Amino acid sequence: MFFARSFFVASAIGGALAQISGLSTQCQNTLLAVAASPQSVCLNPSGLLQVFLQGTTNSVVTPVDTWLKGLCALGPCSNDDLAAIVTNVTSGCSTDLQPVLGNASPGSLTPLVQQIYPTVRKAVCLADNSNNKELCVTETLTSIQTNTGTLTIDKLLQIVPAIAAGEANSLNGTNLCTPCVKQFYNVAESGFPGIFGPGTTVASNVQTDCGSSFVDGASDPNIVETASNSTSASGSSGSNTSNGCGQSTGQQALLSAFLLSLLALAA
């Protein structure tokens, strides 16, 4: 029975990956192996793959919510877990990632991912007590969906780069100046002051859009952190959260490359 179930899950996931256009067979097999590895448990990979099982017409909002709730309830990935995941994915998917990463060696992204991960995890696990403790990601995606129609994977992948590029009209008037988004900004600023802190281009753009109170660093008491502090997510012990102080523009470029590579992987 265990085998039957594993086989069913593996074939369902394989089918989902095959739908993601353009991923090489080698890369798909690598992602399946990584998802099945105990070291990736901390990313709740089965929940993530459910997001891709939605096909091209269904909304991703609920599966993303389920994936993140599961992830936030687990302890964080250790640096060793992240290193294994990044090394395996970048080597198994090197052909697919070549346009984004060039010929960077498989392990070279590891320190960057280890540096970004704690901040991203903190951000995606924020919840809004004034809205039934809904995750801030879910609240924000729901509001975007209300204004732009069903948020499919394809649409999400169009919208994220548009937001990153400051093309706010792609959101059809969605108000992003909310307490949740303000706290995303606060978390990003404390993790990467060189990119989001006072005096940066990002800070001045955000201030123009949402007003100076948005960048005052104050937290809304309704917005709470739900990321579990337990250390028992996977077989490896201990997390080592680095606090990315003093980012250089080189790191900013790498950060963009990494985010783009995630998008490329998902596209």
Considering the complex, state which of residue 44 and residue 88 has its C-beta at the smaller distance from ligand NAG.
88
Find the shortest distance in angstroms from Cβ 200 to ligand NAG: 26
Report the alpha-carbon distance of residue 69 to residue 124 in Å, rounded: 9
Amino acid at 137: V
User: From the centroid of its chain, how far is CA 57?
Assistant: 21
Distances 10 to 14, 81, 111 between C-alpha atoms, Å? 6, 22, 30
Find the shortest distance in angstroms from Cβ 242 to ligand NAG: 6
Find the shortest distance in angstroms from Cβ 159 to ligand NAG: 9
Find the shortest distance in angstroms from Cβ 37 to ligand NAG: 4
Find the shortest distance in angstroms from Cβ 226 to ligand NAG: 5
Considering the complex, state which of residue 106 and residue 197 has its C-beta at the smaller distance from ligand NAG.
106
> What residue number has its CB nearest to ligand NAG?
148
Find the shortest distance in angstroms from Cβ 108 to ligand NAG: 16
Considering the complex, state which of residue 35 and residue 64 has its C-beta at the smaller distance from ligand NAG.
35
The binding site for ligand NAG (CB under 6 A) comprises 33-34, 37, 39-40, 84-85, 88, 148-149, 172, 225-229, 238, 240
Report the alpha-carbon distance of residue 112 to residue 255 in Å, rounded: 7
CB 167 within 8 A of CB 178: no
Considering the complex, state which of residue 172 and residue 205 has its C-beta at the smaller distance from ligand NAG.
172
Considering the complex, state which of residue 88 and residue 203 has its C-beta at the smaller distance from ligand NAG.
88
Report the alpha-carbon distance of residue 52 to residue 49 in Å, rounded: 5
Distances 77 to 43, 92, 203, 228, 244 between C-alpha atoms, Å? 7, 20, 30, 11, 17
Beta sheet of 134-135, edge-to-edge order: 134-135, 126-128, 223-225
Considering the complex, state which of residue 39 and residue 261 has its C-beta at the smaller distance from ligand NAG.
39
The alpha helices in the chain, defined as continuous H runs, are: 2-19, 25-36, 45-52, 61-73, 79-92, 94-101, 110-124, 136-148, 153-164, 179-191, 193-196, 201-210, 249-266
